[in-house]
Structures are given as C-alpha cells and as structure tokens.
Structure 1
Amino acid sequence: MAKPLFKVNTSQEVITMLKDHLNLKEITQNNIEEVDVKIALHRFLAEEIVVPANLPGFNRSTMDGYAIRAEDSFGATDSLPFYLKIIGEIKMGVRPEFKINPGEAVKISTGGMLPGGANAVMMVEYTEQIDDTTIEARRSISPWENVVREDEDLKTGEIILRKGHRLRPQGIGVLAGIGKTNIKIYRKPKIAIISTGNEIIPAEGEPRIGQIRDINSYTLGACIEEADGVPVYRGIIKDEVILLEQEIKKTIKEDKVEAVIISGGSSVGVRDVTLEVLNRLGRPGVLIHGVSVKPGKPTIVAVADNRPIFGLPGHPVSAMIIFDLFVRPLISWLQGGEYNYNSTKEIEAELTCNMVSNSGREDYVRVFVYKEGEKFYAEPILGKSGLISTMVRASGLIKIGLNIEGVEKGSKVRVRLF
C-alpha cells in the first residue's frame, strides 16, 4: 500500500507548535549560573536588574566652564554682558565643601560636581576673564544647561534590565555603572548533532566512490556556536533504528543536552527510521513532518519529554535554512529570551532577474549582493540544495512569501545577510 504524503506546515505554525509543546520555564529554571559581567556579553539575564542608587549620583558638568546660578545670566547678550566673581575651582572626584551665592561662579571641568547653589554651567567659550577674580559672560543660559542631573541617567528603584534580556556592550556598561559586577545568566544550551547515512564518512577520511565527508556536523556546529549555543558532536550513525535510538538516549544521558539535531534524519532512506525512533523516545513525539519551505520540505520536528529533536534534511543548504528558521529561535528560548529577527543584518536590493516560486510555500533564494553607484543589487545564485558552495558564494538570502508566485526583475527585495 502506498504511504500517504506528509502534511506540510508553515514556518509560523511550526514555531507555534514547538513553543506550545515545550515547558520552557521548567528547562530554564535549573539552568542558571553566576558569572563576572566581563564575560557576559550576548548572554541572557536570569535576573531582573534594579538600580540601587541614582546615576551619576550628583549634578555633573558636561562642559568645561563655570558653575553658576542660571538666573544670573538671564537677559545677557554680546552687547549686554554680566559679571561674576570667581570664588574657587572644583577639583575632579571631590565633593565641593562650599556653595555659591548670587553673582558668584566657580571654575569647573567636564565631569566635575556642581557645588550647592549652582544649577548650570556657562561654557568657557562664552566668557572672558577680566582679572583673577572676575569673568565677563555674554550669553543667557537656562537652568540645568550643560549639566547631567543626579538621577538623569538612572533613578533608584528603576528596572533597567529585565530577565531574559540579551546583554549588549551598553548593557555591560550599565551593570558596571551600578556596581553589579557579578550577574546571574542562563547557561548556553547544549545541542547534540548526530549525522546519519551509510554513505557519510568523517571529515578527515578519504571518501571512496559513493561516499561523502560529513559536512553538516561542522556546518551545524558552527551555526549553534553563532547562535550562542554549545554544539555536542556525536559523530555518524548508520541508518538503523536501534543504533539511532541508542545514540539519542546516550547523548541525553551523558551530555545532558537540551536538544538534538539529526542531520539527514528526514531524507527518504532514513525518514521512516527517524519517525519510528522519535515516536518512542517520549511524549508527545513527532509534531511536524513536512514544512512549506523550499529548500527543507521534509523536515521533522519532535518533542520527547520536554526535549526538542529535529530531523533536518541531509542537504547542507536545506539544513542551514531550517536551522535558521527553527533551531536558532529555540536556542534563544532555552536561555530565557525571545528571538528577535536581526533587522540590522538586512539590506534592500534590486533583483537582477525574474524569480519563479510556487504559491503555498516560502522560497529562500541564495543571492550575491553587489553595489553599483548608490544602489545594491541581488543576483540569485542558482543551484541544488546539496551544493554547499552556493552558500559560500552567497551574501545572504531573500524570502519569497507563501502566497507569492514569483518576483520580477527590478523588484526591491530584502536581503538577510549572512
């Protein structure tokens, strides 16, 4: 009897189903470590950061000049200057022990603390020193001009970073600014990679006719690292149910991995083997068998006792695209974060030729981007999904949506750069 065709799901349906069948809180709550903030870049916070004290904590000059009462300058112009008595100079890093009165000023440098009574800084460029104790100023300034107020940057009790936030350099800086040098973050999730196929040999081996080296383990391992996960390389397994099941159980037990990728697990020769294994590893089993994505249609997604398992196509291009769609977001979720599509890696370009697509699926087209004059152009790189060289030559991918039957030459497209 002929086997029924698998039902394909859209990429958004896959994301929704995967999230609905995972208890992410259970996974992340026992996956926390405390580290020095200096090594926390791009990690996800496992705690809420509350500001313990105002920052900068004092009224701070942003210019070299004179700390004054702004009211003393009101109405001043080049033709109608005003005069102030210099009563001292602010030393850097020292709290002034005096205050100024109307008609007085103190010399101050950028970063200095304003003394009591002062509420503005007159830039030195707008003054002229008449003698050792007197300056002339020719400009009116408003209260708190050229000053950072004591709570202008951060206020006591303010939540500055939330749990699940992915730390950027500016986040590291704000943590240092409030004295938070040790923080709780989520551990990077460990993702096992198992290559399947009787024709696959280790990369260091010499292939005979009909054999190929293991490209996907290395490619997917690099993708995992780029996504802030930890790859666990489990080697190559033959296309046999018992061997595959044993290897998955072994990596779960020994390596304590949070997810498993089976490379080649959705190909025709091993698909039934993969489905059988994934359906008996734990509940609920296989969720997805087929996605409306080209390349990558025969993808398998399963969850076994709260552990996601992916059967990715054996072709390198397909494997990389499916990884980007489903595994990369998962790695963020496993660290308590939300996956944000990185729009900073996108550019707009003009398509150099017509591209045909079938309605009802998402097409991901490899393109080479070049610039002529002020315009970027996207030139499709044609080739089968088994050709890793096409990804090497490509600058990025364009997506042709589900209900679009093609894109005409000259159309503006968004290119997601690698």
Structure 2
Amino acid sequence: MSDLTIRPGREFFTARTVSDALAGFRPTRRTTIESVPLAAALHRVPAADVLAPEALPGFPRSTVDGYAVRAADTYGASEGLPTYLDLAGAVRMGAAPTVTVPPGGCVAVPTGAVLPEGADAVVMVEYTAATMPGSIEVTRPVAPGAGLVRADEDVASGATLITAGRPLRSAELGLLAAAGVGAVDVHARPRVAIISTGDEVVPSATPVLAAGQVRDATASALAGLVTEAGGEPVVVGIVPDDRVALERVLRDALGSASIGADLVVVSAGSSVGARDETAGAVAALGTIWCHGLALKPGKPTLLAECGGVPLIGLPGNPLSALVVFRLVGAPLVWRLGGCAAPPPEPTTRARLSRDLASAAGRVDIVQVRVRGEVAEPLFGPSALLSVLTRADGYVVVPEPATGLDADSEVEVVLYR
C-alpha cells in the first residue's frame, strides 16, 4: 500500500490507471472460515484444498452396456469373420460380481456395473449378437481398457478433489458428494457496508419527491453487484453532505460488531469540489491509496484502507458508480472472500456498428447492445441508469488506444 495520505481540508487528485488499481490495491484482509453443508456451498470459496478420502469410482466399472471380455479373445473379429465367446453369466447393478471371465468367455454387464475378475475390456452390445443359447458373437475387436474406467481413474486416493480459492461450481459439489464429503470449510461471505451520501438523496421508498430530490437507486444496484460477487451487502443508509456526520457513520461501519464490514463503499461525494467531504473524512480514519482513476466514466474514484478495512469512494452518478464497482469493487469482494482470482465473466465477439472515440492514457468503458454479430454503442449522461438497463454488456477501449474503428472486431463483456 502507498503511504500517500490526504490531509483534511486539502485536495489531492492522484489518478492511477485501472491496471495499477487492480494490481496495486490489494488489502490483505480475508474473511473468517466457516463450515457449510454441500447444499449451501454453491459459489462459496474453499479455505483449503480438499483431498479425496478414497479412490473414485472405487472399483473398475463398465461405461457401456455390453459384455466384459478378455481383449485378446476379440482380436481379429469382424463382421465377416466374427469371434464366438461363451457366456459365463451376468453382473447385476449395485452388486459385486459372482462370476469371473474365463479365457474364451464373456459376462454380460450394464453401464456402471462392477467389472468382473478376468476381464480387461467391455465390448459394446451393438457389436455383438446372441446367435445361440450360451454363446455370443463378437463382430469388432477391442483393446485392453476399452469400455471401462479404472478404480481410481476419476480421482486417486489422496488426490486433490477441490482447490482452495476457487468458487465451487455444481460439478465440484457433485465430486465432493461422490467422495462422501458432506461439508466443506469456506470463507465467510464478505460483508460490504454501503453508505450513500448527498443532501439531495432520499430513500428509494419515498413516494413523492420534493424539488431537487433523487431516490437512492445506486445502493440497491450496488447491493446486487455485491451479491453477484459472493458478498453480503449491508445497506447502512444515507448521510448528508456533512463531514462530521460522514466521519461518524464511517467510524461506526468500520468498528461496529453489528455491521462487521470487510469492505466499506461510499456512494457519491467522491468528486473533487467544494462539497466533497468524503476524502477528508476518510483521511481522518486511514490512508488513501489514490483519489482518481484514469477511467471514463468513473474518474473521481477513491481507494483507501482504514484500520485494515478497504474502502471505495464511488462517483456520484449511478452509471459511473456501477461501472467502477464492477471493474474494481467486485474483484476486491471476491479477493476478500478468499478467491484467488475472480471467476471470468462471459464474453462474445462482435463488430462495432460505428466509430468509438477515446483519449490515450485512460480506459473507456462503452455500453453496447448486441444484435447478432454487431455491437451497437449506447451513449447517454452518466446519471442515466437506463443506459445500463438497455445494454447487453460493455466494450473496453484500452489505455493506449485513441479509439476504435467501425467494423472492428471487439470483445464484449456480457452482463449475466
């Protein structure tokens, strides 16, 4: 962390690149560890590797319906010159075999059944025929290992079932269940305190607005983004444009056991100006890492750490605030919750419908609507949330670029 500190009453605007922020602003705080049952473990982040207590599937089993054979007995078989094997019996699902495969013989097996002793392959039923009682005709040879899985082919005993730091998907839950693991130690969901500021901001449930008032839309949207990033939003409420009041609420959010914030997000009040009280209040409580990102929209962003708790000061305009939080805040929430790397967002390739102008030295985030293979840029003031609601995703114009040409192929990051 940088030792840059903003003194109360003194304005700084130390802009950093987005890549610098993602690489350099990395608080060490991590959430506590708790044990949860598999039914509640989807998307949770394991705190440690989980090792397989036993091999999986645990026994050699057939992967097809057919006949367990000694592979060498099928060599040379063809439709014109089939091989004939004696049927020694059958294996029932869910039961141990009571018969072995002798030389020149075979045993009927369904998919998933235990492979009987003596067999080293399974011939699919499609390549066999029952021509006479007690005998099977084989019309295609098989190699050893065909049509079966070994006892430890899925997972060897003691091997890593799941890796720490990677959010659990449904497939991992299935693998844990197959291994008999009923609960897993995971990081607690990061608690994110969301504080809205502004004399003009009123609760979203306000039925009738007075002149100049706006409902607090950003807090609800931020709560959704926090949840998507594996966190637990705690909406603290609205604070007027008063430094003393904001500092008091920040102290409470940082130190209150009832809130227990792992991250504090201040919505609005981060723009440099006469009414900007956020920087002064934050500087009184901790260290500001930067005040300003080379980003459009979202330049007036504040990143800080207060008593070991990271804090993000977002721009006042809703669209800007949500763009910044998606780029910088969401990865931080994942990291606080023990995630080694945020899960990748879905993307698609498309062609731009028009030119995009930009300025070198900053990242531009452009909202787009995708129609077939075409990405249509959407423009509007950063105070308008409808630009986001109409968008299917966004395009990143990188720092070195001065724009993108129409018909350029771009990667569109899609909203889930």
Match of 1:13 in 2: 20
- Quick one: distance in 2 between partners of 1:229 and 1:103? 62
| Structure 1 CA distance for aligned equivalents of residues 320 and 393 of structure 2 | 14
CA distance in structure 2 between the partners assigned to 1:346 and 1:305 by the alignment: 37
CA contact (8 A) 1:195 1:236 kept: yes
Contact kept, 8 Å, 1:329 with 1:338, in 2: the verdict is no
Amino acid at match of 2:394: L
1:377 CA displacement: 0.8
Residue in 1 that maps onto 2:54:
53
- TM-score in terms of structure 1 length: 0.93
The residue type equivalent to 2:28 in the other structure is N
> Could you tell me whether the CA contact under 8 Å between 1:368 and 1:379 is conserved in 2?
yes
Q: What do the CA deviations read for 1:267-326 (whole angstroms, capped 9, x no partner)?
A: 3457642111111213xx111111000000010110012100111001011101110111
* Partner Cα distance (2:172, 2:360) in 1: 43
Cα deviation, residue 69, structure 1:
0.6
CA distance in 1, matches of 2:55, 2:115: 16
- Per-residue CA deviation, residues 220-246 of structure 1 (Å, 9 max, x unaligned), is 111111111111011110111111111
Equivalent residues in 2 for 1:123-272, closer than 5 Å: 123-205=124-206, 206-252=208-254, 253=256, 254-269=258-273, 272=276
Residue in 1 aligned with 2:74? 73
Work out the CA distance in 2 between the residues paired with 1:85 and 1:270: 93
Question: Would you say the 8 A contact 1:93–1:112 is kept in 2?
Answer: yes
Counterpart CA distance in 1 for 2:403 and 2:377 is 13
2:278 maps to 1:277? no
Q: CA deviation at 1:97?
A: 3.0
Letter paired with 1:414: E
One-letter amino acid of the counterpart of residue 313, structure 1: P
Does the residue aligned with 2:320 lie in a helix, a strand or coil? helix
Show the counterpart of 1:303: 305
Partner of 1:340: 342
State yes or no: 1:388 paired with 2:392.
no
Give the secondary-structure state (helix, strand or coil) at the position aligned to 2:34: strand
SS at match of 1:23: coil
Change (3 A) 1:4 1:307: closer
State how far apart, in whole Å, the 2-side matches of 1:224 and 1:269 are: 28
Query: CA separation in 1, counterparts of 2:91 and 2:289?
Result: 68
Contact map agreement 2:263 2:311 (CA 8 A) in 1 = yes
* Paired residues of 2:46 and 2:187 also in contact (CA < 8 A): yes
Q: Quick one: distance in 2 between partners of 1:216 and 1:272? A: 18
Tell me how far apart the structure 1 counterparts of residues 181 and 10 of structure 2 sit (CA, whole Å).
Answer: 60
Cα distance in 2, alignment partners of residues 139 and 379 from structure 1: 56
Amino acid at match of 1:295: P
CA distance in 1, matches of 2:65, 2:93: 12
Indicate which of 405, 409, 412 corresponds to 2:409: 412
C-alpha distance in structure 1 between counterparts of 2:217 and 2:138, whole Å: 72
Q: CA deviation at 1:9?
A: 0.4
Q: Secondary structure at the match of 1:235?
A: strand
Task: Identify unmatched segments of 5+ residues in structure 1.
Answer: none
Alpha-carbon deviation of 1:417? 1.2
Q: Structure 1's 164 and 328: CA in aligned 2 closer, same or farther, altered over 3 A? A: same
| Corresponding residue for residue 4 of structure 2 | none
Taking the aligned partners of 2:401 and 2:119, their CA distance within structure 1 comes to 65
Comparing 35-44 with 131-140, greater Cα deviation is found at: 131-140
Shift in Å, 1:408: 1.2
- CA gap 1:270/1:182 in 2 versus in 1, 3 angstroms: farther
SS at match of 1:33: strand
After superposition, the Cα gap between the structure-2 partners of 1:295 and 1:271, relative to the gap in structure 1 and judged at 3 Å, is farther
Residues in 2 aligned to 1:299 and 1:276: alpha-carbon distance in whole angstroms: 14
Contact (CA 8 Å) 2:11, 2:272: kept in 1 or not?
no
Q: Residue 23 of structure 1 is aligned with which of 22, 28, 39?
A: 28
SS at match of 2:25: helix
- What is the correspondence of 1:343-382 to structure 2 with a 5 Å cutoff? 343=345, 345-371=346-372, 376-382=373-379
Q: In structure 1, how many angstroms separate the alpha carbons of the residues matched to 2:14 and 2:238?
A: 29
Q: Secondary structure at the match of 2:277?
A: helix
Displacement, 1:219? Answer: 1.1
Judged with a 3 Å threshold, the aligned counterparts in structure 2 of structure 1 residues 5 and 237 are, in CA distance, closer, same or farther, namely: closer
Query: Which structure's residues are more often helix, by fraction?
Result: 1
SS at match of 1:399: strand
- Per the alignment, residue 94 of structure 1 pairs with 95
C-alpha separation in 1, matches of 2:275 and 2:82 = 86
CA contact (8 A) 1:264 1:270 kept: no
Q: Does structure 2 retain, via aligned residues, the 8 Å contact 1:354–1:408?
A: yes
Identity score, percent: 38
- Specify the code of the residue in structure 1 equivalent to 2:277: V
CA contact (8 A) 1:56 1:150 kept: yes
Q: CA deviation at 1:341?
A: 5.6
Is the partner of 1:262 in helix, strand or coil?
Answer: strand
Alpha carbons 1:11, 1:291 under 8 Å: kept: yes
- How many residues of Structure 1 are paired with residues of Structure 2 in the alignment? 404
Distance, in Å, in 1 between the alignment partners of 2:369 and 2:81 is 64
Contact 1:239 1:270 in 2 (8 A): no
SS, match of residue 255 in structure 1: coil
